[in-house]
Amino acid sequence: MKKMPLLTKSLLFYNGEKFSMKKFINKIKCLFKKTATETLTDSCPPDTPSPEEKPKSPKRKKHLRTLVFLSLFITLIWYSFIFEPNNIQIENLNIEVKNLPEGFEDVKIVQLSDLHSYGFDNREKKVLEMVRQINPDFIFITGDLIDHSTKDMDSVQTFWQELGRQYPEKVFVVLGNHEHNNIYIDSKSTKKRLTESGIVVLDNENQKIFQDEKYIYLVGVDDPRSGKDDLKKALENTEKDIPKILLAHSPEIIYSPNNPKEEKVDLILTGHTHGGQVKFPFLRAFWIPTKDRGKFDSGLFEVNGTPLYVNHGIGLSGLPIRFNCPPEITVIELEKKL
Ligand SMILES: [Fe+2]
């Protein structure tokens, strides 16, 4: 019996013939007809001289195997292109922080990252609805809110205005490489639109965030991927014993030459990697756009005693697919380190 060609091989040479879309579609139609009725037509020439000369069962088995193969292939395409990219997951994270003021033990922080928005579309609406259900105290967005090719900024801004309106003075953002590389709008104008929408952009600066009249510092650096981060400046005038959460677009902040080793924070929240978007079980993602080639691909790490979290992101970049790496909203709760 002839062995079933491999996936890639079958795309180029189906049953030894050079690939042609017309032949391919015709073949699928024939397979369905043959399996269902065993009736052959002019457009579906017989593969065997006559049913009497050869037994039916091996041919039928072959048709069934091909049908199973095609069904799996179509399911995989649907799953990777449509289902998983829209299947946003909620990841819960508990982080212990030294000297955490009492009021902060009950706060809920939502981290969003890498939305790569092209407008106020279904994905943005779904994010708003999911965030509404989480009911967070603060929302931190770690860059790449737009894609480098996003053009309809008015539509994207509608999403930002909704966030700003629903969570006034609670939404904080740092910029990513796509804000800096956008071909239609410069990062200064993007920053202006964010600010006008009621969102605070932390551009190498810090801000006290309050809960029950106590505060911690939220520190934000501009994109380390683009070399625009300045942690020393961002930490200016912060008090040593007050906890600090650092927002940076990429985990590359930890190797940044602009990141002096003596500067210490209590938690680093990042994105940028999208977790690789496609991750086969037991293998590392093959696409991670960082200098360390994926050492910090996604999830929680500890770097010199400091927790570093890398969010999968919500949107897509490069190939419009996700596999085993769903989009993510992170919910962070802080605990006092004893
Ligand atoms: Fe990025």
Whole-angstrom distance, CA of residue 256 vs CA of residue 253: 5
2 in any annotated domain: no
Residue that finishes a domain, picked among 83, 110, 138: 83
Residue that finishes a domain, picked among 83, 108, 127: 83
Instruction: Tell whether 239 and 309 lie within a shared domain.
Output: yes
Instruction: Tell whether 19 and 114 lie within a shared domain.
Output: no
Annotate 248-313 with DSSP letters as a single string.
-SSGGGGG-TTS-TT---SEEEE-SSGGGSB--TTS--S---STTSSTT-SEEEEETTEEEEE---
The overall pTM is greater than 0.75? yes
Instruction: Tell whether 67 and 194 lie within a shared domain.
Output: no
Q: How far is the CA of 311 from the centre of ligand 1 (A)?
A: 11
29 in any annotated domain: yes
pLDDT of residue 58: 82
In 10 A of CB 63, how many CB atoms? Answer: 18
User: Three-state DSSP class for 219?
Assistant: strand
pLDDT of residue 12: 44
Question: Which tens digit of pLDDT belongs to each residue from 115-144?
Answer: 999 999 999 999 999 999 999 999 999 999
Instruction: Tell whether 127 and 35 lie within a shared domain.
Output: no
pLDDT of residue 215: 97
Q: How far is the CA of 273 from the centre of ligand 1 (A)?
A: 7
77 in any annotated domain: yes
Instruction: Tell whether 79 and 131 lie within a shared domain.
Output: no
The residue with tokens 């292939």 is 73
Whole-angstrom distance, CA of residue 218 vs CA of residue 223: 16
Q: How far is the CA of 111 from the centre of ligand 1 (A)?
A: 15
Residue that finishes a domain, picked among 83, 106, 134: 83
Instruction: Tell whether 34 and 99 lie within a shared domain.
Output: no
Instruction: Tell whether 122 and 265 lie within a shared domain.
Output: yes
Q: How far is the CA of 287 from the centre of ligand 1 (A)?
A: 13
Q: How far is the CA of 265 from the centre of ligand 1 (A)?
A: 22
167 in any annotated domain: yes
pLDDT of residue 132: 97
Instruction: Tell whether 266 and 195 lie within a shared domain.
Output: yes
> Six-digit token pair at 272?
């940028």
Q: How far is the CA of 19 from the centre of ligand 1 (A)?
A: 37
> Six-digit token pair at 176?
């990513």
pLDDT of residue 29: 64
Instruction: Tell whether 55 and 188 lie within a shared domain.
Output: no
Residues of the chain predicted below pLDDT 50? 1-16, 38-41
pLDDT of residue 289: 85
1 in any annotated domain: no
Instruction: Tell whether 247 and 320 lie within a shared domain.
Output: yes
Instruction: Tell whether 254 and 137 lie within a shared domain.
Output: yes
pLDDT of residue 32: 54
Q: How far is the CA of 95 from the centre of ligand 1 (A)?
A: 24
Residue 200 domain boundaries: 89-337
Q: CA 58, 61, 66: angle at the middle one, nearest 5?
A: 130
Q: How many domains does the chain have?
A: 2
Whole-angstrom distance, CA of residue 272 vs CA of residue 143: 7
Whole-angstrom distance, CA of residue 130 vs CA of residue 107: 17
pLDDT of residue 253: 94
Q: How far is the CA of 274 from the centre of ligand 1 (A)?
A: 8
Q: Are 330 and 95 in contact (CB under 8 A)?
A: no
Residues 6+ apart with CB under 8 A from 209: 138, 172, 215, 216, 217, 218
Instruction: Tell whether 161 and 180 lie within a shared domain.
Output: yes
The residue with tokens 């080793």 is 261
User: Three-state DSSP class for 169?
Assistant: coil
Question: Which tens digit of pLDDT belongs to each residue from 284-312?
Answer: 887 888 888 778 999 999 998 999 999 99
CATH number, domain of 218, equals: 3.60.21.10
Q: How far is the CA of 291 from the centre of ligand 1 (A)?
A: 13
Q: How far is the CA of 294 from the centre of ligand 1 (A)?
A: 14
Identify the CA nearest to 241 among candidates 98, 123, 110: 98
Whole-angstrom distance, CA of residue 172 vs CA of residue 197: 11
116 in any annotated domain: yes
